[in-house]
């Protein structure tokens, strides 16, 4: 086993601050070379090195602690070598705070033109050129990017999957993980392993056991929110989370509905990410404490209230639903900007309120009250 696992402890750590007395929800702090991250935390997605429709300064003004970017997409354009020459992703995009990079494993799941083999995953880009993304190239790209947290290269198993497919896949993911570890040379970057296993408890358990043997800085639950539905997602998280080390950050990948976030936090998860708040914002769907608002609806033409009267974000303090609807109706870029700023602020507030409730041993009550309000009216 590489000495890198010991070296990284000088730069990266997790402190478990408190566990709610009435649930498994927990609060902690992740420490990285580019800043501390109070948990639970929701990470906005900046796939191509930018959170769509927002300047980095807006995210800093909100005190966003960490964002996520994607290895595969940055590899295609502009290329990680260029970003390395620019001083790394932090400097290149002028973001001084922590960054997590996905490994490209989700693209193994989501892209149609691919071939999965022992060497890695082979793709065709838009020009038809063949690209091999392997554990070694994934780590090389992420080290060129200089992210604070790198994800191991794995296969995000589709749903549904047979037991044989799942077993073969996790065995390969374990072999890929060892190749990731062998390629990992920068102790200032923490490497997280990803627990796969589809909907099968025995394979989730087997995968978790294998990953924990590698003594990584953090662990993630992957292969959820891939079409299995909320009930199976909760079953997977509820079963897998207790298998994860108590003293390491726990991450559920790709989960982003408010009700799902509350579920994973209740089960002791520290981190999550999703494109939902930003993608929905650009389509005119805004999150509030009383449910979602589809701002393009005619009802909002003469609505002079803020998006959410209980929100203190820039959008809600300065503009009305009527004005934001007008922006969308007029196809003004400002509509997407204000909507995205609001949704990111709403998600950040939700995580901060959850953390406060955990520290005060009232997370269960907080979750119940939030969901009662969130589901109280169905806005269209």
pLDDT in tens, 292-341: 999 999 999 999 999 999 999 999 999 999 999 999 999 999 999 999 99
DSSP letter at 44 equals P
CA dihedral 254, 209, 266, 64 (to 10 degrees): -50
Overall average pLDDT of the 177-206 stretch = 98
Radius of gyration in angstroms for the set of CA atoms belonging to the chain, rounded to a whole number: 20
In angstroms, the CA 192 to CA 203 distance is 19
Q: Is 103 annotated as a binding residue?
A: yes
pTM (predicted TM-score)? 0.96
In angstroms, the CA 357 to CA 378 distance is 26
Segments in 241-332 forming alpha helices (H)? 258-266, 276-282, 314-318, 321-329
In angstroms, the CA 129 to CA 266 distance is 45
pLDDT of residue 253: 97
Per residue in 1-29, pLDDT (tens digit) is 568 999 999 999 999 999 999 999 999 99
Residues 327, 357 contacting (CB under 8 angstroms) = no
Q: Is 169 annotated as a binding residue?
A: no
Confidence tier at 380 by pLDDT (50, 70, 90): very low
Burial class (CB in 10 A: 0-12, 13-18, 19+), 193: buried
Per residue in 68-81, pLDDT (tens digit) is 999 999 999 999 99
Per residue in 216-263, pLDDT (tens digit) is 999 999 999 999 999 999 999 999 999 999 999 999 999 999 999 999
pLDDT of residue 65: 98
Q: Is 106 annotated as a binding residue?
A: yes
Nearest CA to 45 among 2, 106, 120?
Answer: 106
Sequence ranges of the chain with CATH classification 3.20.20.105: 4-280
Confidence tier at 378 by pLDDT (50, 70, 90): low
Distances (CA, A) of 247 to 29, 149, 267: 11, 17, 15
Q: Specify the CATH number for 4-280; select among 3.20.20.105, 3.40.50.620, 1.10.1370.30, 3.40.250.10.
A: 3.20.20.105
pLDDT of residue 379: 43
In angstroms, the CA 114 to CA 47 distance is 20
pLDDT of residue 108: 66
Q: Is 171 annotated as a binding residue?
A: no
Strands in 130-133's sheet, in edge-to-edge order, are 114-117, 120-124, 130-133
What integer best gives the mean pLDDT of the chain? 95
Distances (CA, A) of 321 to 225, 324, 329, 341: 31, 5, 12, 14
pLDDT of residue 2: 65
Nearest CA to 67 among 81, 78, 79, 56?
Answer: 56
Q: Is 207 annotated as a binding residue?
A: no
| Residues noted as catalytic | 102, 273
């Amino acid at each position: 086993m590489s000495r890198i696992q010991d070296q990284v402890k000088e730069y990266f750590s997790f402190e478990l601050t408190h566990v709610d007395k009435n649930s498994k929800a927990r609060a902690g702090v992740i420490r990285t070379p580019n800043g501390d991250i109070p948990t639970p935390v929701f990470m906005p997605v900046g796939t191509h090195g930018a959170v769509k429709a927002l300047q980095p300064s807006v995210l800093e003004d909100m005190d966003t602690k960490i964002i996520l970017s994607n290895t595969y997409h940055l590899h295609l354009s502009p290329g990680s070598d260029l970003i390395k020459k620019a001083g790394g992703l932090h400097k290149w995009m002028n973001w001084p705070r922590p960054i997590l990079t996905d490994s490209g494993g989700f693209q193994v799941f989501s892209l149609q033109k691919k071939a999965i083999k022992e060497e890695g995953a082979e793709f065709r880009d838009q020009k038809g050129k063949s690209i091999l993304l392997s554990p070694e190239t994934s780590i090389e790209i992420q080290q060129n990017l200089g992210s604070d947290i790198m994800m191991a290269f794995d296969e995000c198993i589709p749903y549904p999957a047979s037991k044989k497919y799942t077993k073969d896949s996790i065995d390969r993911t374990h072999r890929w993980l060892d190749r990731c570890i062998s390629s990992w040379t920068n102790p200032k970057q923490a490497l997280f392993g990803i627990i796969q296993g589809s909907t099968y408890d025995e394979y989730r358990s087997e995968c978790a056991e294998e990953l924990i043997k590698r003594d990584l800085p953090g662990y993630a639950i992957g292969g959820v929110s891939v079409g299995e539905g909320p009930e199976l997602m909760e079953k997977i998280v509820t079963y897998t989370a207790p298998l994860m080390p108590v003293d390491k950050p726990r991450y559920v990948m790709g989960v982003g509905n408010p009700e799902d976030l509350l579920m994973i936090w209740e089960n002791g998860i520290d981190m999550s990410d999703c494109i939902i708040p930003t993608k929905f914002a650009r389509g005119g769907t805004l999150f509030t404490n009383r449910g979602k608002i589809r701002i393009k609806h005619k009802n909002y033409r003469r609505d002079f209230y803020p998006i959410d009267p209980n929100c203190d974000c820039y959008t809600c303090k300065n503009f009305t639903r009527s004005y934001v609807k007008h922006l969308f109706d007029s196809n003004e870029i400002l509509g997407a900007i204000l909507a995205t700023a609001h949704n990111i602020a709403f998600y950040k507030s939700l995580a901060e309120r959850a953390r406060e409730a955990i520290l005060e041993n009232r997370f269960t009550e907080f979750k119940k009250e939030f969901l009662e309000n969130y589901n109280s009216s169905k806005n269209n």
